[in-house]
Structure 1
Amino acid sequence: MAVGARSGHEPEDRPEHSDHAESAGATAEGAVGDGDGRGQQKPRSFWKELPLLIGIALVLALLIKTFLVQAFSIPSESMQNTLQRGDRVLVDKLTPWFGSEPERGEVVVFHDPGGWLDDTQAPEPNVVQKFLSFIGLMPSAEEKDLIKRVIAVGGDTVECKKDGPVVVNGKALDDKPFIFPGNTPCNDEPFGPITIPEGRIWVMGDHRQNSLDSRYHQELPGGGTVSNDEVVGRAIVVAWPINRWATLPIPKTFDQPGINTKVNAAMSLAPGALGVAGAVPLVLWRRRRLTRERTAG
């Protein structure tokens, strides 16, 4: 009877066994699908991924602007013909993080040292312009920045007499290749001689007769010089418009021999230092020899 009862219940047990089989089958299919027993997930749609992609792009743009490269717009004709009004330049902001300082001949962007742009009224940007400027995709219209060429650095002596060239550390600069055609080096505002304090630079525009540069701010603190700390970075390339794409190298006149007094001072000490370095071993060898001879005697 017990056997019969058990036998009678077998048909009812079969559907349960069948459910297990279906479950096992589903598990097997899942295993084939993703290998961990779960069903294969559908990829997220492009529109759901888009906000994440935009967010990542904005963060990267902000990091690039802050630490690597930033775009700036040229607001005036003071750097013609090297730069035209409306040009967009890319400024290297990375090298100053590693202790690099401005060098003679570089075109640099710097914050207003104080009083240089008091009479300049910048147009009020709209919300979109402010946002694009914040992330570095558009030059800022609010920041009071200037762009000029570095003529002299800390420790240099610079001067320019009427009808004469700009002279740095006694070396006359050949600035004809980069100043505006028809301009004189400084006839509109002769100056000097001026010794540039350490940690500061003397800057001038390439359009000499249309540039309110260091020459015109000598009455301000700093005597017309700009602190290295105010320098945003070096302009390395004209990026826009496309037909004006060009790099901004240092003119050869700034590399002429003798202009770098610090290097010259080091080089002038080098022969003496080498002589001392060579003499020390000889003196020590001679003393040992004399000591041995006395001992042997």
Structure 2
Amino acid sequence: MATDSGDGTTGKHVAGDARKRRPLWQETILLLVVALALAVVLKAFFVQAFYIPSASMEPGLIKNDRILVERVSTWGGGRPQRGDVVVFDDPGGWLPPSSAGPANPLARAMADIGIYPEGGHLVKRVIGVEGDVIHCCDDQGRIEVNGQALDEDSYVKDADVVECRGPQGPGDCEWTAGPVPEGHLFVMGDNRTNSEDSSAHMCNADADCNQSPYVPVDLVVGKVFVLIWPADRFGLLHRPATFEDVPDPS
């Protein structure tokens, strides 16, 4: 039989309330575990944080900018499209050893579970997908994809100054790449005079061809969709309209 505690509650209720309350330290640990679990799930399936490791994507993305990458567009066999800015693993020899990511053990552990911007990756813009032929350049210095010239003035650095839009390739402003192999991408940085991208890894007559300029789709982490830091430059990233005019490969 329950006894009255004198304040209108019974002994049974008091005991039950005591069992429901947890010490603050237990609640804190529980919240941390839940937060970490959510971070792991978000990283694995939805969103991951990265930072920009170099000047290769200027002027839109500057070194040490913080970005978010979404994985949803890759679900169900989805693949990056022309014009997307993507993050991908090093295909082999594209990154210097110093670009491995956070050196601080705590920051590295946080990066592993997705709550700190992660390094050791590259960020570039997709110019060509499988089957595409990319040519540099037409008589106005524009990159052509499947014969269609791209209007890149809105995102290429110093567009009104550089002679052409693809100077890293063999012969600087005169090269052709493709057809892009099945399951691969041709990528370029927006800072065309300072980007170790597909055009910079093409073979030429003066160098041995021991690497491929194409990035396997399987190495793509996801598409950059928002610049989150610094706060005064916060904004969403959109696929440039010029890529809508590119015809399918013949």
Picking from 203, 212, 223, the partner of 1:234 is 223
Q: How far off is 1:111 after superposition?
A: 0.7
* Mapping for residues 243-254 of structure 1, pairs under 5 Å: 243-254=232-243
Residues 48 and 160 (structure 1 numbering): CA distance in 2 closer, same or farther, change over 3 Å?
A: same
Residues 165 and 37 (structure 1 numbering): CA distance in 2 closer, same or farther, change over 3 Å?
A: closer
Q: Which residue in 2 is equivalent to 1:41?
A: 17
Q: How far off is 1:193 after superposition?
A: 4.7
> Which is greater in Rg?
1
The percentage of counterpart residues that share the same residue type is 38
Letter in 2 for 1:166: I
Is the partner of 2:28 in helix, strand or coil? helix
TM score, norm. by length of structure 1: 0.71
Q: How far off is 1:261 after superposition?
A: 1.5
Picking from 122, 127, 130, the partner of 2:99 is 122
Q: Which residue in 1 is equivalent to 2:122?
A: 146
Q: Which residue in 1 is equivalent to 2:83?
A: 105
Residues 216 and 49 (structure 1 numbering): CA distance in 2 closer, same or farther, change over 3 Å?
A: same
Letter in 1 for 2:75: W
Letter in 2 for 1:240: W
Q: Which residue in 2 is equivalent to 1:202?
A: 186
Q: What's the CA shift string for 1:110-144, capped at 9, x where partnerless? A: 11111212x44237612111111112111224x3x
Q: How far off is 1:260 after superposition?
A: 3.1
In the aligned structure 1, how far is the partner of 2:142 from the partner of 2:71? 32
8 Å CA contact 1:214–1:225 kept in 2: the answer is yes
Residues 221 and 228 (structure 1 numbering): CA distance in 2 closer, same or farther, change over 3 Å?
A: farther
8 Å CA contact 2:131–2:178 kept in 1: the answer is no
1:50 maps onto 2:31 in alignment: no
8 Å CA contact 1:161–1:187 kept in 2: the answer is no
In the aligned structure 2, how far is the partner of 1:55 from the partner of 1:147? 31
1:180 maps onto 2:157 in alignment: yes
Higher fraction of helix: 1
Q: What's the CA shift string for 1:197-216, capped at 9, x where partnerless? A: 12111001100011111011
8 Å CA contact 2:148–2:247 kept in 1: the answer is no
Report the RMSD for the aligned CA atoms in angstroms.
Answer: 2.5
Residues 25 and 34 (structure 1 numbering): CA distance in 2 closer, same or farther, change over 3 Å?
A: closer
Q: What's the CA shift string for 1:136-166, capped at 9, x where partnerless? A: 111224x3x1000000100111111376311
Aligned length: 233
Is the partner of 2:166 in helix, strand or coil? coil
Higher relative contact order (CA 8 A, sep 6+): 2
Q: Which residue in 1 is equivalent to 2:248?
A: 261
Letter in 2 for 1:46: L
TM score, norm. by length of structure 2: 0.84
Letter in 2 for 1:254: F
Residues 176 and 38 (structure 1 numbering): CA distance in 2 closer, same or farther, change over 3 Å?
A: closer
In the aligned structure 2, how far is the partner of 1:148 from the partner of 1:246? 18
In the aligned structure 2, how far is the partner of 1:89 from the partner of 1:225? 24
